[in-house]
């Protein structure tokens, strides 16, 4: 009998060890599930008290009969959204040191769930959470999520209804968001024109150049003078030739110029009428021919292949021979500042050869959220509050989504950037924005943009011929999107 007891005990402990082994080393998920288990218990005790406090404190909450949940889950692909929200949302009391959660003054907890964009990790995790949204417990429901311009269409689709319309949240885009740029509203809208996402930033691109190289090659580093030399692609080419003569490169790689072309496409990659065909726009073929010509002519740094790699980052440092980069405001703040190793004031901003918009983080409210009131407050504070947007522009040198603020910023020295040696870039941003022809978006943008750059990269470097590069793009795009059966190239 004793033996039996001992052996069964052993068996149980072995089983337990095997099971804990599965989740061992994964403290985060353990904690999360512990928290989830704890929450309902505290719910019953706290919720009624909290609610009454809420109602008496906030009169607008009266219309909102359903009680707010205890946890706000915010999905994002980097810490940008967290930094912005914690900077401007006044209800936030404290944020934990590791940045995984914040506490609001009324006791509600914000959980920041951050997964990187690379390799589609963020979208995988978000999609998983959104598909489980209806059956998830209140504390695990997605409340707010971020989406980049390249894939926002996937989430604003009215048929899928993953994101709430702003109206159902209680935000009227025409009055509440009147100060925002119109194109950001178009981008955040579904196929029926109903707005579902909004953003605090607009991303008009400019040309950022090295002052020392400009002085050496052109004898001046004045943005207005340099701007004349970079006003369109023809002039830019002559400028590149001058730079080359002195041993400098105009841009780091063909990927740098891509957005100026792709943002001026006449039609989307995949149209609604013909959902199984990718149509490659003529302007992208222009990019291919121009890039090949420029690379062969030595206007690009041949050692830099594409973006987001260490060679590209090194091209932004003082040892590099690259004259300019094409960037929106976020690019200067998040890419150039950390990679530049010299003094401030070495770079200046002027107009790009072609106006373009690159990126933009949109915030959307997930359908089924249990905290609609908080979600509305956060979105309003982040994207519609003039003071907050001014603050973001001043602190993070971002081009914010508020026309009146940006118009004023162009002539206000307080908005000068320390990195640019005090130069105020907002005038150039606004000019760029004014002439942006926003390319129509489709749900396939991310894959198409990524794969066309990859496929033609081999062609630029002389590894394959033009037709083979086209063929490789077709193979890759059909692999990525199984529903695509045909690729149409321009004549």
Partner 1 sequence: MKQKRKKVNYSKWGYIFILPFFISFFIFSLIPLIDTIRYSFFEYYRSGLKEIGPNFVGMENYVSLLKSDMLKYAANTLILWVIGFIPQIVIALLLASWFVDVRLKIRGQQFFKVVIYLPNLIMASAFAMLFFALFSNKGPINSILLSIGLTKEPIDFMRSAFGTRTLVGVMNFLMWFGNSTIMLMAAIMGISPDIFEASEIDGCNSVQRFFRITLPMIRPILAYTLITAIIGGLQMFDVPQILTNGQGSPDRTSTTLIMFLNNHLKSKNYGMAGALSVYLFIVSGILCFIVYRITNDNDDDGSKAAARKRKKAERR
Q: Which two tokens stand for residue 140?
A: 């695990």
Distance CA 229, CA 233 (A): 10
Q: Judged by CB under 8 A, which stretch of 169-177, 340-348, 381-389, 454-462 contacts partner 1?
A: 454-462
Residue with tokens 């401030």: 344
Q: Judged by CB under 8 A, which stretch of 7-15, 347-355, 383-391, 405-413 contacts partner 1?
A: 7-15
Q: Judged by CB under 8 A, which stretch of 45-53, 108-116, 365-373, 459-467 contacts partner 1?
A: 459-467
457 touching partner 1, by CB under 8 A: yes
Strand order in the sheet with 324-327: 324-327, 206-210, 347-350
Out of 88, 142, 144, 162, name the contact with partner 1 by CB under 8 A: 162
Q: How far is CA 117 from CA 182, 308, 484, in A?
A: 27, 12, 23
Q: Are the CB atoms for 227 and 252 separated by under 8 Å?
A: no
Distance of CA 307 to the CA centre of its chain: 15
- Subset of 127-146 contacting partner 1 (CB under 8 A): 127, 130-131
Helix or strand (DSSP H, E) at 325? strand 324-327
Instruction: Name the minimum Å distance from CB 314 to partner 1.
Output: 5
Sign of CA dihedral 289, 295, 297, 300: positive
Instruction: Name the minimum Å distance from CB 189 to partner 1.
Output: 16
Instruction: Name the minimum Å distance from CB 312 to partner 1.
Output: 10
Count of CA atoms in the C-beta half-sphere (13 A) of 338: 8
Q: What is the DSSP string of 386-418?
A: HHHHHHHHHHH---BS-HHHHHHHTT-GGG--T
Instruction: Name the minimum Å distance from CB 160 to partner 1.
Output: 5
Nearer to partner 1, 63 or 483 (CB): 483
Instruction: Name the minimum Å distance from CB 134 to partner 1.
Output: 13
Neighbouring residues of 318: CB distance < 8 A, sequence distance ≥ 6: 340, 341, 342, 346
Out of 122, 472, 473, 474, name the contact with partner 1 by CB under 8 A: 472
Q: Are the CB atoms for 183 and 300 separated by under 8 Å?
A: no
160 touching partner 1, by CB under 8 A: yes
60 touching partner 1, by CB under 8 A: no
318 touching partner 1, by CB under 8 A: no
- Subset of 174-213 contacting partner 1 (CB under 8 A): none
464 touching partner 1, by CB under 8 A: yes
244 touching partner 1, by CB under 8 A: no
- Subset of 276-315 contacting partner 1 (CB under 8 A): 302-305, 309-311, 314
Distance CA 141, CA 131 (A): 10
Q: Judged by CB under 8 A, which stretch of 45-53, 136-144, 157-165, 178-186 contacts partner 1?
A: 157-165
Burial of 422 per CB tally in 10 Å (0-12, 13-18, 19+): exposed
Phi, psi of 150 (to 5 degrees): -65, -25
340 touching partner 1, by CB under 8 A: no
Q: Judged by CB under 8 A, which stretch of 24-32, 123-131, 135-143, 345-353 contacts partner 1?
A: 123-131
> Where do contacts with partner 1 occur on this chain (CB under 8 A)?
7, 11, 14-15, 18, 119-120, 127, 130-131, 153-155, 157, 159-160, 162, 302-305, 309-311, 314, 443, 454, 457-458, 461, 463-464, 468, 472, 475-476, 479-483
């Amino acid at each position: 009998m004793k033996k039996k007891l001992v052996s069964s005990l052993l068996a149980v402990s072995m089983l337990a060890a095997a099971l804990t082994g599965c989740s061992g080393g994964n403290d985060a998920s353990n904690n999360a599930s512990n928290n989830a288990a704890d929450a309902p218990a505290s719910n019953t005790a706290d919720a009624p008290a909290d609610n009454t406090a809420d109602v008496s404190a906030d009169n607008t909450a009266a219309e909102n009969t359903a009680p707010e949940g205890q946890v706000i889950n915010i999905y994002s692909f980097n810490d940008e959204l967290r930094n912005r929200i914690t900077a401007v949302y006044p209800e936030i009391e404290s944020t934990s040191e590791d940045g995984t959660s914040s506490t609001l003054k009324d006791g509600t907890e914000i959980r920041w769930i951050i997964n990187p964009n690379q390799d589609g990790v963020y979208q995988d995790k978000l999609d998983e959470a959104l598909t489980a949204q209806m059956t998830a417990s209140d504390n695990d429901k997605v409340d707010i999520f971020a989406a980049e311009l390249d894939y926002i269409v996937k989430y604003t689709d009215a048929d899928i209804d993953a994101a709430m319309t702003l109206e159902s949240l209680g935000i009227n885009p025409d009055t509440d968001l009147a100060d925002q740029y119109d194109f950001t509203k178009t981008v955040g809208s579904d196929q029926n024109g109903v707005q579902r996402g909004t953003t605090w930033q607009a991303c008009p691109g400019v040309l950022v150049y090295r002052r020392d190289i400009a002085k050496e090659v052109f004898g001046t580093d004045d943005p207005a003078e340099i701007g004349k030399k970079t006003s369109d692609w023809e002039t830019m080419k002559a400028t590149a030739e001058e730079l080359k003569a002195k041993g400098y490169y105009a841009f780091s790689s063909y990927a740098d110029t891509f957005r100026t072309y792709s943002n001026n496409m006449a039609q989307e990659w995949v149209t609604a009428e013909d959902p199984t065909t990718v149509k490659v726009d003529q302007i992208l073929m222009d990019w291919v021919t121009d890039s090949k010509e420029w690379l062969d002519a030595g206007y690009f740094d041949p050692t830099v292949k594409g973006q987001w790699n260490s060679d590209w980052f090194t091209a932004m440092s003082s040892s590099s021979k690259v004259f300019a980069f094409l960037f929106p405001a976020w690019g200067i703040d998040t890419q150039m500042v950390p990679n530049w190793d010299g003094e401030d004031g070495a770079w200046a901003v002027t107009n790009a050869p072609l106006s373009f918009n690159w990126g933009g983080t949109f915030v959307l409210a997930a359908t089924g959220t249990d905290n609609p009131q908080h979600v509305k407050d956060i979105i309003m504070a982040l994207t519609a509050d003039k003071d907050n947007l001014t603050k973001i522009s001043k602190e993070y040198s971002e081009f914010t989504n508020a026309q009146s603020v940006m118009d004023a910023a162009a002539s206000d020295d307080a908005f000068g950037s320390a990195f640019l040696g005090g130069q105020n870039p907002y005038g150039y941003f606004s000019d760029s924005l004014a002439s942006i022809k926003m390319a129509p978006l489709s749900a396939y943008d991310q894959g198409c943009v990524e794969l066309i750059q990859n496929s033609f990269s081999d062609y630029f470097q002389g590894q394959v011929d033009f037709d083979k590069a086209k063929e490789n793009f077709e193979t890759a795009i059909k692999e990525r999107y199984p529903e695509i059966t045909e690729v149409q190239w321009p004549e």
